[in-house]
Structures are given as C-alpha cells and as structure tokens.
Structure 1
Amino acid sequence: MTLRASRLMTSMFLVRDGQVLLLYRKGSRAIGDSWVGIGGHLAGAESEDPTAGILREVEEEIGVIPDQLSELALRYVALRDTGTGLRHTYYFTATLRPGVLVPADCDEGVLRWFDLAMDPTGLEMPPTAQLAFAHWLRGGRRDDVLRFIVLGADGQQIGPS
C-alpha cells in the first residue's frame, strides 16, 4: 500500500432565512473550481479542535465572528482517499443571526445564497462535499446525528445515502 500525505480541512453550510450560503471557490491548490461551504485547511493545534478552525476560516473568508452564529454543529466527518493523499473534512452547519451582513464575494471566490429546497445534483462540488450537502438538504439538517463519509481511491462510498 502506498503511503499518503494527509490534509485536514473544514467546511460550513451557513443558513439564513431558508437559504444556505455556498462559495464558488476559484484557484484552490486542493480542489478544482467548484461550489463548497465556507472553510479551508486546519492549522497547527486546530487539528485537535476543528471547531476553532472553522470559526477562524469563517471569520477570515466572510468576516462573520462566532457571536454572529447560532446552532453551530459538526454534522459530517469525511475521509477521502484521492490515490495520492487522504483528505479529512469536518462539515459544520450554523445559523447566521438576524441582521448580520455577509459580503457578495471574498478573496476565495463568489458567494451565493441557495434555497434549502434546491436540488444540488447540478452543482459541481468535490465528492465528499456533494455527498454531505445532498444528504444534509434531504433530511440530515432535521436531526442532530453526526455522520461519517468514507470514499476509497476507487470512489466506492461507505456513508449516508
């Protein structure tokens, strides 16, 4: 078996008024141009506290600080073998408090609000983001269960369906 490097990442699906905020990330070294939640790589001690990492990323990318969020929850933990590396992603959700403004874009790409009733199958997303987001929209957002997604190098999935 080939040894693989590991990347630890976070992503947040941020909710407001029946909509969810996604980022069309451009020019990333880790993924192709695609729709993702707000987030990025964990740094230093954040590997032991992914919540600290997602809060830092949300503040850096869209200027939202922890006091402006409610209902912060870790919803999915994903592990994907790309064949050359392992990608661990912690998927969070949170609700934006009333009156908090979010920019239309950021240094990472274009931000857009989507209706929670949307069909995400047409969105270009990284594999585990697509699985987590689609499952969460279908019903995962209505409970407090932490779910796990595992994708092998062959693309075979073990996780929510």
Structure 2
Amino acid sequence: MTPRTTRHLTSVFLVREGSVLLLYRRGSRAIADSWVGIGGHVEANELGNPTAAALRELHEEVAVISDHVDNFNLRYVALRDTGTELRTTYYFTADLRPEAPVPTECTEGDLRWFDLAVAPPELEMPPTAEVAFAHWWAVGRCDEALRFILIDDGGHVTGPV
C-alpha cells in the first residue's frame, strides 16, 4: 500500500429564500476549477472542530458570520482516497437569516445562487461534492440526518449511508 498524506476540508451549502449558494472555485491547491460549497482547508488547530473551520471559512470567503445563519448542521462526512492522499470533507448546511447581508462576491471565484425549486443543474464538481450535493438536493433537504460517503482510490462510491 502506498503511504498517503491527509487533507481535511469543509464545505457549506448556504440556503436563502429557496436558493443555495455555490462557488465556482478557481485556482485551488486541492481541486480543479469547479463548483463547490463555501469552505476550504481545516487548520491544524481546528482538526477537532470542523464546525469552527467551516464558520471561519464562511467569514473569510463571503463575510458571513455565525450570527448571520440558522440551522448550521453537519450533514455529510466524505472520505476520498486519491491513491496518494486521504481527503476528509465535512459538508454543512445553513440557512442565511433574512436580515443578514447577502454574499455577492468571493476572491476564490464566482458565486451563484441556484433555485432549489427546479431540477439540479449539471455542474462540474469534485467527486465527493458531486455525491453530497446531489443527495442533499434530492433527499437530504428533507431531514437532518448525518450521512457518510466513501470514494476509494478506484473511484468506487459507497454512500451516502
């Protein structure tokens, strides 16, 4: 077995008035340019608290602070084996409060609100984001369950379970 490094990431699907905010991230160290939730790397001092990392990333990337959101919940934990790296991504959802400022720009790429009332668009997404987002859109929005996703080094997907 090849020794693997690890990488820990967060991603938040931010919901407001029947739409979800996604970021077309450009120039990432970890992924090709693609659509993702708002998030990024978990810092060493946050390894035991991915919620703090997700809230920090929301603030850094789109100026949303914890007082701006309700129903902030961890919804999916994904583990992806790239063959050289084990990537753990913590996927959260949150509702942007009606009185909170609406994010319109991000230095990491382009923001776009997607209407939750229509079929989900075909989007280029990293592997675990694609699985988590599709499941959340179709099923996960209707409950508060925590689910797990595993993608092995051959690309085989297990989950959400």
TM range (shorter): over 0.9
Structure 1 gap ranges (5+): none
Instruction: Say if 1:117 and 1:137, in contact at 8 Å, map to a contact too.
Output: no
What displacement does 1:121 show?
A: 5.4
* Residue identity (%): 62
TM-score in terms of structure 2 length = 0.96
Instruction: Say if 1:55 and 1:65, in contact at 8 Å, map to a contact too.
Output: yes
Matched with 2:99 is: 99
Matched with 1:57 is: 57
The count of aligned residue pairs is: 161
Matched with 2:47 is: 47
Q: What does 1:2-151 align with in structure 2 at a 5 Å threshold?
A: 2-120=2-120, 122-151=122-151
CA offsets per residue over residues 92-139 of structure 1, 9 Å max, x none? 000000122233221100000001134335100000000000000001
Cα distance between partner residues in 1 of 2:146 and 2:27 = 30
Cα distance between partner residues in 2 of 1:103 and 1:96 = 10
Alignment RMSD, CA only? 1.2
Paired residue type of 1:99: E
Secondary structure at the counterpart of residue 137 of structure 2 = helix
Paired residue type of 2:17: D
Structure 2 gap ranges (5+): none
> Runs in 1 of length 4+ with deviation above 6 angstroms?
none
What displacement does 1:160 show?
A: 2.1
